[in-house]
């Protein structure tokens, strides 16, 4: 769930510059643009299922707000945020259109705070589950096509049996990485990301009150570390290591021999 509470025009202008610069780099590096296109299916699935998971859990807790707003669906058009989707495509982390919930409508016997944390946690959990599914699909494809996989400093390279299989494998691998990226990014414990609500039930009372009173400041802190690239600098290695770890576990589970360099 991602919802800016200040002038979006400034953020969008900065993001547009960042995206233009990144797109130029993709266009000038051979094969990079094709790789970007093959990432699109993973981005659509990652954002759609992430936001659907928020809506689904909120609905199960008794809040009909997501359903009334048309968010209890797997139609990507209901969940995509233009800027967040482009960033997820280009940078590996981003966001979807926020799912609005009304905690006062929760009917389950738990505090609104804990219920809100469950709704927030549903998105990242969904992404990690999808990453595992993409890895399983990758392993099945490798086993049935005789393709080869190599890890070079936690970067995955492949040798496919034919060009079509290579495209399929690249789509599956990028789908796993994008889902890990969206899941990790949203676990950052700063508003407006899911992590800020997930940690709330576990904070001491004084820390919780400080967090609530200074929420707007935390928004600004997040935007600063995001626009300056600090967020990417911090989480990109985590995304890379976690993606490689899930891949390697999947390969071992399916008995796939992969080489490390």
Q: What is the dihedral sign for C-alpha 157, 230, 89, 173?
A: positive
- Residues 156, 256: Cα–Cα separation, whole Å: 14
Catalytic residue among 30, 51, 153, 215: 51
- Of residues 25, 126, 110, the one with CA closest to residue 61: 110
Q: Compute the 3-state secondary structure of the chain and give helix, strand, coil in percent, each to the nearest 5.
A: 70, 5, 25
Q: Where are the beta strands (DSSP E) in 43-194?
A: 148-152, 155-159
In which element (H, E) is residue 104 found?
none
- Residues 140, 155: Cα–Cα separation, whole Å: 20
- Residues 131, 190: Cα–Cα separation, whole Å: 23
Is there a contact between 149 and 258 (Cβ–Cβ < 8 Å)?
yes
Looking only at Cα atoms, what is the longest distance across the chain? 60
Per the annotation, the verdict on 166 as an active-site residue is no
Active site residues: 51
């Amino acid at each position: 769930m991602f919802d800016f509470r200040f002038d979006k025009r400034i953020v969008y202008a900065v993001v547009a510059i960042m995206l233009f610069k990144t797109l130029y780099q993709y266009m000038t590096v051979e094969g990079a643009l094709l790789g970007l296109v093959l990432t699109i299916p993973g981005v659509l699935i990652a954002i759609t299922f992430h936001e659907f998971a928020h809506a689904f859990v909120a609905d199960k807790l008794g809040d009909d707000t997501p359903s009334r707003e048309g968010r209890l669906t797997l139609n990507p058009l209901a969940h995509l945020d233009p800027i967040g989707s482009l960033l997820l495509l280009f940078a590996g982390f981003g966001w979807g259109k926020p799912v609005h919930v009304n905690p006062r409508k929760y009917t389950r016997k738990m505090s609104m705070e804990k219920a809100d944390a469950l709704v927030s946690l549903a998105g990242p959990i969904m992404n990690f589950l999808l990453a595992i599914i993409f890895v399983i699909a990758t392993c099945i494809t490798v086993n049935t096509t005789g393709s080869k996989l190599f890890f070079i400093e936690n970067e995955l390279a492949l040798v496919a049996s034919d060009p079509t299989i290579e495209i399929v494998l690249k789509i599956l691998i990028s789908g796993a990485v994008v889902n890990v990226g969206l899941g990790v990014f949203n676990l950052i414990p700063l508003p407006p990301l899911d992590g800020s609500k997930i940690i709330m039930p576990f904070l001491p009372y004084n820390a919780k009150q400080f967090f609530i009173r200074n929420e707007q400041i935390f928004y600004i802190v997040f935007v600063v570390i995001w626009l300056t690239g600090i967020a990417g600098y911090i989480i990109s290695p985590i995304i890379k290591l976690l993606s490689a770890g899930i891949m390697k576990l999947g390969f071992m589970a399916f008995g796939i021999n992969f080489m490390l360099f």
